[in-house]
Amino acid sequence: MSDDTNDPVAPEGLEGKDGSAKPVPAKKGVAAKMRGYFFAGVLVTAPIAITVYLAWIFINFVDSQVGKLFPPQFNPETYLPFATPGLGLVIVIAVLIAIGWIAASFLGRFFHKSIDRVLARVPVVRNLYSTVKQIFETVLAQRSNAFREAVLIEYPRRGMWAIGFITGRTEEEVQNLTVEETVNIFLPTTPNPTSGFLLFLPRKDVIPLSMSVEEAIKMVISGGIVTPPDRRSKKKRETPIVSAATYEELDIAREKENTPILVPRKTE
């Protein structure tokens, strides 16, 4: 009798290390290749097109608003046979640089303090002005660490982790009421990172991340689809420093017993 079987015979050169035949990959059809090329083209052109489109909208908006402030005889487009996109944006940047240069002088500081005193006396405007000013001074200060470090925190319960951003060191009443040194953590929401929660956590419970703030924001906005690479050394990558183990039974027992949390009083 013949020993022939229906098993496919691998072509010469496609045998495995153990002598067994390797499966021959199926060839893609023309439609599958065209579909792959189409999606590859979308992945390449879509981010560029969307970025250019949004930038064009922003530039046109600034140009239209700045153009209203100048009479036609001072508008270069009145004398040029072509449009000048971006001219309004250039003017805004130049004006801001000039204002900053004037504000750095003695006369500029005098007028700045005078305006601060006037706005501080207006009942409704003073609260809004002081809040906006403090936010800009905190974010734009050269020595500020606001939103300059992405961290990992255990939230909203044990064993669950979230990405947050350090906005500063906790000070005044909140810090004085806690024993540990605490930091301000902004916990953004997905996919809109402009909203979120303000948390005060002990510094020892905050895990610094090697990824940049921009990479962490992209990860939050994409819902984890865009994941930055781990640039740490191989030894650090292979050594975990946090655990996902939960202790729900212990937490429930404490809640049932209504166990108070006692802090020892320091005596001088």
- The number of distinct structural domains making up the chain is 1
Residue 197 lies in a domain: yes
Residue 219 lies in a domain: yes
Question: Reduced to 3 states, what is the DSSP secondary structure of residue 259?
Answer: coil
In order along its 268 residues, the chain shows pLDDT tens digits of 445 445 555 455 545 555 555 555 566 788 888 888 898 888 889 889 999 999 999 998 988 888 788 777 777 777 777 777 888 888 889 988 988 888 888 878 888 888 888 888 888 888 888 888 877 776 666 555 567 789 999 998 888 899 999 988 899 999 999 989 999 999 999 888 888 999 999 999 999 999 999 899 999 998 898 899 998 888 888 888 877 665 555 555 554 555 555 455 555 5
DSSP per-residue letters across 7-64: SPPPPTT-B-TTSPBPPPPPPP-HHHHHHHHHHHHHHHHHHHHHHHHHHHHHHHHHHH
Residue 209 lies in a domain: yes
Residue 194 lies in a domain: yes
Q: Are 169 and 189 in contact (CB under 8 A)?
A: no
Domain around 176: 150-229
Angle at the Cα of 107 from the Cα atoms of 102 and 113, rounded to 5 degrees: 95
45-77 per-residue burial string, b: 16 or more CB within 10 A, e: under 16: eeeeeeeeeeeeeeeeebbeebeeeeeeeeeee
Residue 214 lies in a domain: yes
Question: Reduced to 3 states, what is the DSSP secondary structure of residue 101?
Answer: helix
Residue 180 lies in a domain: yes
Residue 191 lies in a domain: yes
Query: Residues with Cβ < 8 Å from 157, sequence gap 6 or more?
Result: 246
Residue 154 lies in a domain: yes
Q: Are 161 and 151 in contact (CB under 8 A)?
A: no
Q: How much of the chain is helix, strand and coil, in % rounded to 5?
A: 45, 10, 40
